[in-house]
Each structure stands twice: as structure tokens, then as C-alpha cells.
Chains A and B, each alone.
Chain A
């Protein structure tokens, strides 16, 4: 601790802090334009100059470390003069187009100019007249730029992208993508929030409102499970933009493109406004009464004729906890059926099971800051910066602070590019990779030194004997010496972390992978904190805890969707199995056999098109509720906008059907539900450790007929099938594509942008090719967000949480000789 005086106030502070940091912590305001909490000090704007006793020169508070005994003054005539001159110089060429600038009213330069008084206008000059630069979502007005460099630095230092830089020198410096091309980046929009003036703005918000007319409300992002706080800015009841507020929420102000731009899915033209009832094979809009009576009658019939075990429900990972509770109650209390499940079954459920089997825990909340301060972090076949962008940023932050981030992935993901090391393994070989490290750890005798014992240790040792570095190298395709070096680095680190995602489309990782990871960590004496597996979507974890899973022997998702004849009636809430789940062909057949398919959603989904009844649900922001994020934190969502058409909240629909069916669920109001949801807490478990011996099935087999492995997954700009409803996100990317390695493209004579034919034993689809070195030879990567691509027709379902690698064959689309197809 050091002691110093700022403006006559005696302050104690941590050694190593800068003067500005200490001033901020003590509520002493020093003006600044180029400083950003997340970035290294830059010292460019020279507004934060302060006087330090005994120093001849004025010092920049942002970049001067505070020292014991310093006597600092932050507001003196000399400083005011210096700051005023800086502002005067900036305003000489800054266009005073505040009346048409979207930043007006919340512009740092405007506020500072106001604070320091008008300049005398002693300089006269031509202002800059550079044309505005536009891109799908972000607009740049170079004339307003004050060259503080925050956008450049947030993009590179914080976001790890580096899409823009300062080009040119001195007065002629400008900020631009390389070669002044159109901005083509992640479109996270972090630069827009970082810009202190109106040089950067978002296209959807341009000329939409004056800042002072906006009303702001905080809510939780509907996309991934990080659960970022979004600040919604509304005018006349409509959300116009989303911002991250410095220090607010688990994200502390950071946002990804989905969070920032994806909110407009609620204004999508495809929103359902009325219930649809199939009459003579065609959908007809009906009122709620007709729809509810129809449903009540049909459900009653089927229950009486076939029994409740023939009725099932698939819930959603994105509806609120309160919606999920009511779905579960309706099924269990009114219909008497335990056939309830959600998409968690295809991934996260197996992560939970795996951790219970080994670590003896029933839940393992993620900690966003877990990578920071660790010596080594292993990221396993997981594109975290795409699936959980804000969690992904923490890996970059950890790296800046000295953590070694090692990525094992066949795909050249952002973390693979930015991390300290990247090992390109053969797809689907993470499990033997983990076995190999565990084998080495045992040989090193780490567990003996730490006195680790638990059930199954001997069997584990026996089973791992064959996974020598040589063998692992053979299986994974990673160089043996490199593997050994990385393995020993991980084993011998002081602190470590292992992270992976396990979603419905997350490469070939499943129960056995979780077992293998837990085995390794237990052997090294690490607890569950060293294993970070985030749940998929905003409320995947909440749905699980709310009981959207069989609790007393009911059918699970496999039993309902993939087993012919297992159900007569299916209720699907907020999920589109035909798009997001593997082996869509089988699902489609089974759905078509149903006597009753009820789909409740915010739009007419692909699954909805097969339904007998479609019910319009209110979306995120149109209803109150809560999500449980991957940290296990329940966060409340207010109702922000009015509902669309006749849609109502999911939970209310269940209450109403129950009423129509003459079943009293009690007078259900939101306040009661909220209270009930508040009682949900993650289960603990015994915490008794157990080692599980190796159970890996071997490499995914390609054959002569199907020589290439297809992997499905999520990409940066989209998340499941929800984000494709967003107009903004679709501006960036709206068409399906398949990534193919340059080697395979050459081998199969496929050009960039051409349609290719992909065939698996299950069927054939046609998708546009993108030739990319992000993908190794022998692999295809297909995002599964786009319904029109029907990728899941090709895939198969596994019953242990794996997204199987699909052996396929490819070729140019027939009939057009491989030329770009219309």
C-alpha cells in the first residue's frame, strides 16, 4: 500500500496503480478521451495531465504509476488551460455537426467542451471532408474521428481481432481496415461503444433517435449462456439499440455481435400473431379460444385412448425459467406425463452426468474469470470465442496477463490463432489426447506425490497403459514430441484449467470426454473449478434445473424424437428440432406419424410447419422472467416492450390450457412463479471421486465411399436457429455455407462460392463452399443455423452427448459442371 495526496485528500492505494485509476476509485474526476479500463494506457489525448509536486513537467495520469508520498493536483489554472487548448485543437477540425450526429447528447468531446467552456475560435481551417465508410453493421465517419485509437486498441488488444488500424501519419492519420477496404470483421461492435465521439456508429441506429429521448432498461441477453447484461435503449416503446455499460453485469460492459445487434429478431416479419390450426391440411388463423379447446380436447382424447406415456414435450433452452416451470407442471400435474426433455440432452446433460460420475457433483457452475491468473489453460476442440464470446475474451485477457493458452482443435479458431500454442489434432480425438496426458501424469507419479486415491484408480491405470505418447500421436496426428511437451507443461503447471463446450453441435465430444477430462484433473489433485464447461444457451441450465427432463422414468429426447411410434402427441415449446438436431430425417418421419403435434414458438419454425396447432408465444423482452446462466446465477428479465399480435407468454399458455382442461394449477400469477423459480437451486452431489476407465470407441471411420468428415457447429454471428431471425445479423451472414480446406477443394475441383453436393448415407444436400485454411484436409465444417441448408438431414444422433462426425462424400453440384449455381 502507498499513501498519496490528490487535491488535498489523503488516499491510500495499491502499489502499481496509475494516478488515474486511483483518482477514479476515489471519485476524483480527471478528464480523458483515449483511456479505457480494459486497455493498456495510451497517453495520446493529453487531457488527463496532472500536476505533481516536485515534477517540472505535467504528467499524464493514465500512464503515470502513483508513488508513495506524491502530492497531486488535478484541477489548476495551468491544467485547465492545457486541457482547454487540447479541446480547442480537437475542435478546429472536428465537424460541429452535432445536430445530425447520433452521438450528440452522449458525446465525451461535447461534454468536455461544455465543461471547459467555449474556445475563442482562434484557428480557422477547412474541415475534413472524407466520405463515410459503411459496412454491414458499422458506420464510420472519419471526419468526426479524434484519433484517440480506442477502437483500434479495443479491436486488437481486447477483442483479439485487429480489423482496423491507424493508417498514415500525423494530421493525416486515419483509421481504416487494411487497404481501406470495406470493414469485414466479427461485427462485435465493441469499437462503437469505445468511440468517445460520433466517428463510429451502428447502421441500424443511424438517424433513429436523439440520445436524450431514449429510455434505457437493462435486461439479459437471450443468446448464449454467459448471460450478459444488455442496456436496451427504447423510444416510443421500441428497442432501437443495445449497448454494454462499463462495469455493468457479468460482462462488465463487453458485448458480442449477437448481443448487440441480434435483438431485432423480435421485430422479425415472421413473428406469429395468431394461433394457427390445421384445417383440411392448411393452416388457418384462429382465436385463442378455438385453439385451446382443440388442444384440450385432443390431449384428453389421446391420454384416454393411449395413456399419458404417449404424450411428450420438448422444452426450450431459451424460454424463461418461469415458462419452463409451467411446462413441467402442466405435463406432470395435468397430463400425468414425465416425457419431458430439452436440447440439453444432446450435450450439456452429458457434461453434467460425466461430472457426477467422476467428481461426484451434480452441477459445476462456470466462473467467467477462471482463466485469469492460471499458469496453463487448455482449450479442447471448442470455439469458445464464437459460442460464448464474452467468456472467450477472458482467455485473451488471461493470455495478456501471462497465462499460457494452449488450443487443441482441428479448426483454426480465433483462440487457435491468438493463443500461445495451437495443436491441430484430427477431428474427434480429444478423448485419446486426454488419455495420453493422464497416462503421462501417472508415469510421472503426480498422483502419488499428492496422495490421490479414489475408486477406479487401478482400472484407470490399466486402461491407459496403451495410450503412450507414440500411440496418442498416431491417433491425434499431433507430433509426439510436441504432445509430450504440452502434456508435461499441463501436468507440471502450478495452476491450470481445462475447458470445452459440449453442445448439440460441438464436434465429437461426449460423456467419455468429460470422464477423461475429470480423470486427468482429479489425478492432478484439481477440483471441479479446473473444469469449465459452459452450458449452451441463455437458459439451458435453467431448463435443466426447472425439470425439463424425465425425473421419474419418462422418455427422454432420444425416446421421443428418434424412436418410431413412441408417442402419439408431442408438445414442442420454443425449439426447432428439424433444424438444430441431428438426423432430421428420422425426426421428420416420427413427427409426421404423430396424431397431435403442438408447436409453441415466436415464429413458424420448420417443425411448426408439420404441426397440427401452432401457438404464438411472446418473445424475450415481451415478458417478465428469468434465465439461469452457466455461472448458475439467476438473472431477471423485465418486460420491456409490448407483445406482438395476440401472442402471450409461454407460461400463461400452459396456465390457460390447464384451465380449459378443467384442471386447477392454482391461480397462477407471475409473482407466484417468480417465487417458485427463486427456490430452484443447483443440486450439490456427494463430491465423492471416482475414476472411470477409458471407454473410447476409436476414430470416426471414413470409408472409400465417404472419405471426408463433416462437422457441424455454431459460428460467431449466429446462435442456434434464433439469430437467423435477426435482420441485422443476417446482413452480415444470411446464407448457409460449408468450409472446405484448400487441399480438398483442389482435389474435388470445388471453387470458392460454388455449390457443392454433400452426401452421407442419410441423404444429400447442396451448400455453397467457402474455401478456408481454417479447416484441415479431410474435414468439412457446416454451421447449422440455416434451415434452408438442411444439414441435419445428413447427420446421425449419438446417445452420449456427442455430435458425431459424419462421413460424407462431396463433389461439385451435378448438372452445372461445378459452376456457381443459381
Chain B
């Protein structure tokens, strides 16, 4: 498949507008501006595009809800708070292909009748900030942003809002709180942001990769787009592969490529050709898989069938030298650090899960600790305010489910199997 999202990013100066135009950039925008907003939304629905942030919500449906809300102004926010361990799929777009995102946002703004857009950028991406701001300036200069885009009388303004280093701000309502200048904490849903979002107005929050798909959908049409990859959740997908592979990196592949193909064909197989032990398919918060499950297709439909999720498509590969208790403990350290503290099960639970995992990892595990971990995790799963707590609980539950013996070994022998 031809690359679309990451086309030409290896080239020097790929972030410049001239380079983007050479690759046919902003042609889709011109086409989109001659379309009615409803027509674009219709195309998006036809394309079957599903949100790339992790939940996989049908983008067309989200847009439909927002455009039906009679309140104005509407806001379009690009969620670029990519912060989950193992996830770096948006980064190449932000740093190497920013105009793709900007074009996607202008098209989306037009479709949603939103006149103001924000890119909520992860605090730890200072480089991307420079690139994005430069690109936005270029776009303004060329009349692609502003009060009268390309003389079509359409208004769209765009700016970058940098986060301050909180994973929770990737949750859309916490992100909105943060943009409004508050402490980033998730809000109660309903009402959903599409109706009551930033400053109480309809707000559409979409992931970087989602919005970057817009130029493709507009230029080839929804129907043709729907033919890429798995028809149930079509389109190109960026997989970020890390840990014990020969060629860690980002790979743009059709949605539904198997995990095996990603690991062995694209990422070059396991480092030192060691045996594969475990794979986390979609970022640290998605349940871990065992080697016998890697023929699964990596998409929103097939991964749930094996008890995991696509998430952000961040594949983390572990070979037999890796201690999975340590991975689990390390994951919980992350969740404990990033829990916002609003709800009790997550605030207290993540800390305690980490605490117990830490003692097991350090050789001080006690009999019954596995049951205790499961009990606490069960008390969190589905009972926390937002999915952060669910994610933390599911990591523990899935690691114990898949690698029970490693945990037992750690507790009984006070040492690592690996």
C-alpha cells in the first residue's frame, strides 16, 4: 500500500509547506471547500473512519452529533496529548508532516462549522510545538487559515495549546478543562463534549491521526477509502512498534494487518532472534497477549475477540529475557503517577497495586498477593470515574491471567523466571 499519513517524512524538510504541496498537499482542501459541510460529513460516514485515539468511535457519528447541536460557536480540538508508554504514532505526523494535520483540521472545521481549532499538544513534545507553530504560520501566510480561506469566505483559526505533562489530559473532558485553564480532571458525561464542551459549547475532540485521514477521504472519496484494510474499520493505520524487535519504529499499514506481520515482516522480528514471550498490542493500558495470539488482526474488531484492544496501536514486544512482573510494576508506576486523584478507586487503587507489585518484584511478595492484586483490580475495573483506572486494573488482570506462573515464581522463589 502506498503510504499516505507518513508519505515522504524521511525526506529532509518534509515539514515545510512547499514540500507538502509537492506531494499534492492542500488539493483535498480546495475540493473540500467547494463541498457543503453536510457532504463532507456524509463522506466521512461512508468512509467508516473510526477514531484513532483508542476508543475507535465512528468519527462520522461523532461529527453528526456535534453538527446537529444548534449552539455556536463550535470548537474543534485536535488531541495531540500522546502520552501513553509505547505510543509514538502521532509524533511523526506532528514533527514531519504537520500540514497533513492542518489540512485535515481545516477540512474538519469546515465540515463542522467550527471556526476555531486548537491542537492540544503533549507537554513533552517541545520540538513538535516549534514545527507546528511554524507550519500554522505558513498556512496563515498562504491564506489557508484565517477569516477568508482561499477566498471562499470560510473562517478557521488554529493555534497550539501545550499541555503541562499530564496523561489524564488525553481524556477529552480533562483536556477541555485544561484548555479552559483549569486543573485537568475528567468531567461527568453526559453531557458529552459534542454538546457541552469547551466553554460550554459543542466541541469535537479528535485524535491527530483521525484528523490526518481527512484529506485522503476527501480526495479519494469515502467509498474508496472504505476499501482500505478491514472493511469493518477501514483506512491506513500507524502502528508504533517498540521494545524487543530488530527495527522498532512507526509503520503505516492497512488497518487489520496481523500482529505477526507487523512484528516479523515490518519490524524485522525479535531482537537476537530470541523467542517471543508477550505482546502488548495497543499501548500499556491494553491487555497483554501471548505468542499464540499473534495471528490476530490489529484492528478495533478483531483484538477484542482475543480479549485485548487496539488502543493506539502501540505494539510492545517482549522476548524471554523480559520479566513481566517488572513490566506490570513499571506500568502501574505510570498509572499511579498519572492518576488525577479525583476518584478514590483510581487514586488509592493504583498506588496499592504498584505497591504490591513492587514488593513482588523486589522479592518480598507474600502468599496471597496475587489474589489481593486481583481483588483490588476487580474493585477498580468499571468502577472508576474515567477509563484511566480501568486501564490500570486491566493491565494487572491481564498480566496475571496470561502469566500467572511468572507471578507465582516471583513470590515463591523470590526471583525472576527470566
Contact = CB atoms under 8 A, between A and B. Distances in A.
B341 A43 contact: no
What range describes how many residues of A lie at the interface?
35 or more
B379 A81 contact: yes
A168 B340 CA distance: 8
Given A43-B385, A86-B344, A166-B183, A171 B379 contact: no
A171 B343 contact: no
B349 A46 contact: no
For A123, A168, A170, the residue with the greatest tally of chain B CB atoms inside 10 Å of its CB is A170
Interface in B328-380: 336-345, 347-352, 355, 372, 375-376, 379
Given A43-B343, A82-B383, 12 more contacts: A42-B342, A44-B344, A57-B382, A63-B188, A85-B345, A89-B348, A89-B352, A123-B355, A125-B355, A146-B344, A171-B339, A171-B341
Interface residues of B, number: 30
B258 interface: no
Contact of A44 (B166, B190, B342, B351): B342
Contacts of B349: 89
Contacts of B188: 41-43, 63
A51 to B, nearest CB: 11
Given A46-B385, A63-B188, A166-B183, A122 B341 contact: no
Interface string A113-138: 00000000011010000000000000
Contact of B343 (A45, A58, A165): A45
A44 B343 contact: yes
Given A46-B385, A171-B347, A92 B352 contact: yes
B134 interface: no
Contacts of A60: 385
A60 B379 CA distance: 14
B25 to A, nearest CB: 39
Contact of B341 (A86, A89, A166): A166
B336 to A, nearest CB: 6
B302 interface: no
A82 B183 CA distance: 28
A245 interface: no
A86 B347 contact: no
Interface in B161-190: 166, 168, 183, 188, 190
A44 B385 contact: yes
B340 A169 contact: yes
Contact of B383 (A58, A65, A125, A172): A58
A86 B345 contact: yes
Contacts of A45: 343-344
B398 interface: no
B352 A147 contact: no
A173 interface: yes
A637 to B, nearest CB: 42
A93 B376 CA distance: 16
Interface string A765-804: 0000000000000000000000000000000000000000
Contacts of B376: 85
19 contacts: A42-B188, A43-B343, A44-B342, A44-B343, A45-B343, A46-B343, A58-B382, A60-B385, A63-B188, A85-B375, A89-B352, A122-B372, A166-B341, A169-B338, A170-B338, A170-B341, A171-B341, A172-B341, A173-B341
Interface of A: 41-47, 49, 56-58, 60, 63, 65, 81-82, 85-86, 89-90, 92-93, 122-123, 125, 146-147, 149, 165-166, 168-173
Contacts of A92: 348, 352
Given A44-B344, A46-B343, A147-B341, A171 B351 contact: yes
Nearest to B337: A170
B384 interface: yes
B339 A85 contact: no
Nearest to A85: B379
Given A65-B190, A86-B345, A89-B345, A46 B384 contact: yes
Given A81-B379, A170-B337, A90 B348 contact: yes
A440 B338 CA distance: 57
A123 B345 contact: no
Contacts of A173: 341, 347
Nearest to B355: A125
A609 B310 CA distance: 84
Contacts of A89: 344-345, 348-349, 352, 379
Chain A to chain B: the 7 pairs with minimum beta-carbon distance, closest first? A89-B348, A173-B341, A85-B379, A170-B339, A63-B188, A170-B341, A57-B382
Contacts of B337: 169-170
A46 B383 CA distance: 7
A45 B339 CA distance: 14
A171 B344 contact: no
Interface in B191-228: none
Given A165-B183, A166-B341, A171 B382 contact: no
Most chain A beta carbons < 10 A, residue from B337, B345, B347: B347
| Central interface residue in B339, B350, B352, B383, by most chain A CB within 10 Å | B383
Which of B168, B348, B376, B385 is the most central at the interface, judged by chain A CB atoms within 10 Å of its CB?
B348
A493 to B, nearest CB: 21
Interface string B380-404: 0011110000000000000000000
Given A46-B383, A85-B376, A123 B341 contact: no
Contacts of A85: 345, 375-376, 379
Contacts of B344: 44-47, 86, 89-90, 146-147
Contact of B379 (A42, A43, A82, A172): A82
A147 to B, nearest CB: 6
Nearest to A84: B379
A620 B385 CA distance: 48
Contacts of A169: 166, 168, 337-341
Given A45-B344, A90-B348, A123-B352, A171 B385 contact: no
Contacts of B338: 169-170
Contact of A46 (B340, B341, B345, B372): B345
B329 to A, nearest CB: 16
Nearest to B168: A169
Interface string B139-170: 00000000000000000000000000010100
Contacts of B168: 169
Q: Which has the most chain A C-beta neighbours within 10 Å: B351, B355, B375, B376?
A: B351
Interface string B16-54: 000000000000000000000000000000000000000
A420 to B, nearest CB: 14
Contacts of B350: 170-171
Contacts of A65: 190
Contacts of B379: 81-82, 85-86, 89
Contacts of B385: 43-44, 46, 60
Nearest to A62: B188
B365 to A, nearest CB: 14
